[in-house]
A and B are shown apart, each in its own frame.
Chain A
């Protein structure tokens, strides 16, 4: 025990322990299920680039409204197009619209939120009120207006969904940033002259990143739903590109003859929305240090 007795009396004895002492991380079931569902959608979209059972846009009048089974696993629609192929390709549209819409929302909302958090009343008040107005404006209405002006396309759909989500990111960023700006480490940073954009990028953003990631996955779920709604209404991606929303809309007319036509895209939408929501919940728990290791 001489090494113990000879330990230096002061600072040097206060050495860093071998590692952080933390309880073992447990698997977060919500996150695993959510990420699994999301992964399935992503995989589906990727597979569709390489292979689909049939050309999803190939019309075959001899094979319309087939029931599941046989050569067409999930059957065919009223034009004789293969349902599986349409679902696979539709996942692409869904993901693409979701990614771009969330990117638009975050790219506009986060800087606005940071701007509003800096505290200048004459800056933050107008920004926040403008966001309130956008928030009150329905995304569908915006999409219809854009479609009327520029013609319905995937792009107008994405922009409408993205813009509608800007206030969500703006408000969240402002609230999170205001809290971080109150913290001691920001005070310390100001004491050695950190300010402006660098302070925001190096101190504030990393500390609200978890919040934003969670919001992104929840917004993604909303975007998937909104895209389906727009396609259903005919203000999203135009035919013949398959989307889950339009598959649902077209199935409506043949519901009595072939109800399964509506079930498949409906199931696809429900599962991916559920996946993104669960992933958001799971990420919130996983990224929140207060909830970690319980």
Chain B
């Protein structure tokens, strides 16, 4: 792992200011990220795991330059992306795409599917036949080509997530960041979308960053993970070694809290939390 990481965060701090409570004193700063460093290498599937408020989504936004760190820097392919004006981020916008949790709200309800999927190509002014590319993408994600004239609300949740994935692939990215991409889906649909993601990652040689609270999904999809708690990364390493032998007490507690079909959750959880 001596090569340059594809995406990297170095000592990133992100503070928000709480709304002020009095006229004299400004609001207290809240640290969403507290000195986070992380490296994602080309071709791997990297998981960022944590509970709500752990800072995992904030970290993913900073790695995509959709949010700016208070201090620290993010890099893509060795190039600085924090504090860089938007007009000089074209390379990043093309190479890194995202899939969000709720496929209903992540698609513009007033656009037809054909336009939704073609938008990244238009926004980035990519050459080529956009309509042919849209048709090809619809096929890749397993949707019928004729459906491109429909609006998002005419699809089921799983289908909408397929549209979101097609859009993410449109610009020919190198990295896909999934922020809870299957959390809002029904159990049976979840497996379909996970299969689709793994297939596409392989087919297009994608680097995956998966942000999730769902430990079983992360375990299935990711090679390496970082466990976050209260704005810090408490543990990082190969997925299997972390799952089989968690070192940090928080990771141990988190893993012990995952219910399984064997029904031993309460026994395990009682043991770990006492």
Contacts and interface: CB of A to CB of B under 8 A. Distances in A.
Classify A-B as touching or not with yes or no (CB < 8 A).
yes
A189 B119 contact: yes
Contact of B108 (A16, A20, A185): A185
Interface string B238-254: 00000000000000000
A207 B110 contact: yes
- Size bin of chain A's contact surface: 20 to 34
B119 A194 contact: yes
Interface in B94-126: 94, 96-98, 100-102, 105-111, 119-120, 123-124
A184 B100 contact: yes
Nearest to B103: A184
A16 B154 contact: yes
A191 B98 contact: yes
Contact of B100 (A15, A188, A195, A203): A188
A207 B154 contact: no
Interface in B178-224: 189, 192, 195-196
Nearest to A205: B110
Interface stretch (A6-14, A55-63, A231-239, A241-249): A6-14
Contacts of A202: 108, 111
Given A188-B100, A191-B93, A193-B124, A14 B142 contact: yes
B106 A184 contact: yes
Interface range on chain B: under 10, 10 to 19, 20 to 34, or 35 or more? 35 or more
B128 interface: no
Contacts of A191: 64, 66, 93, 96-98
Interface string A156-200: 000000000000000000000000000111011111111100100
Contact of A19 (B93, B110, B154, B167): B154
A20 B155 CA distance: 8
B144 interface: yes
A289 interface: yes
B98 A188 contact: yes
B165 to A, nearest CB: 11
Contact of A190 (B66, B101, B108): B66
B193 to A, nearest CB: 9
B150 interface: yes
Nearest to B154: A20
Given A16-B144, A16-B159, A184 B109 contact: no
A7 B155 CA distance: 20
Contacts of B123: 189, 192-194, 198
B236 to A, nearest CB: 24
A198 B108 CA distance: 14
Nearest to B195: A10
A48 to B, nearest CB: 38
B266 interface: no
Contact of B167 (A188, A203, A206, A289): A188
A11 B192 CA distance: 7
B131 interface: no
B192 A185 contact: no
B90 A193 contact: yes
Contacts of B150: 16
Interface in A1-31: 10-12, 14-17, 19-20
Nearest 6 CB-CB pairings of A with B: A11-B142, A193-B93, A192-B120, A206-B110, A184-B106, A184-B105
29 contacts: A10-B142, A10-B192, A11-B142, A11-B143, A11-B192, A12-B142, A14-B142, A14-B189, A14-B192, A15-B144, A16-B143, A185-B109, A187-B66, A187-B98, A187-B100, A187-B106, A188-B100, A191-B93, A191-B97, A192-B119, A193-B89, A193-B90, A193-B94, A193-B124, A198-B123, A206-B111, A207-B109, A207-B110, A289-B109
Given A14-B156, A187-B98, A206-B110, 13 more contacts: A14-B192, A16-B143, A185-B109, A187-B66, A189-B119, A191-B93, A192-B93, A192-B171, A193-B120, A193-B123, A193-B124, A194-B119, A202-B111
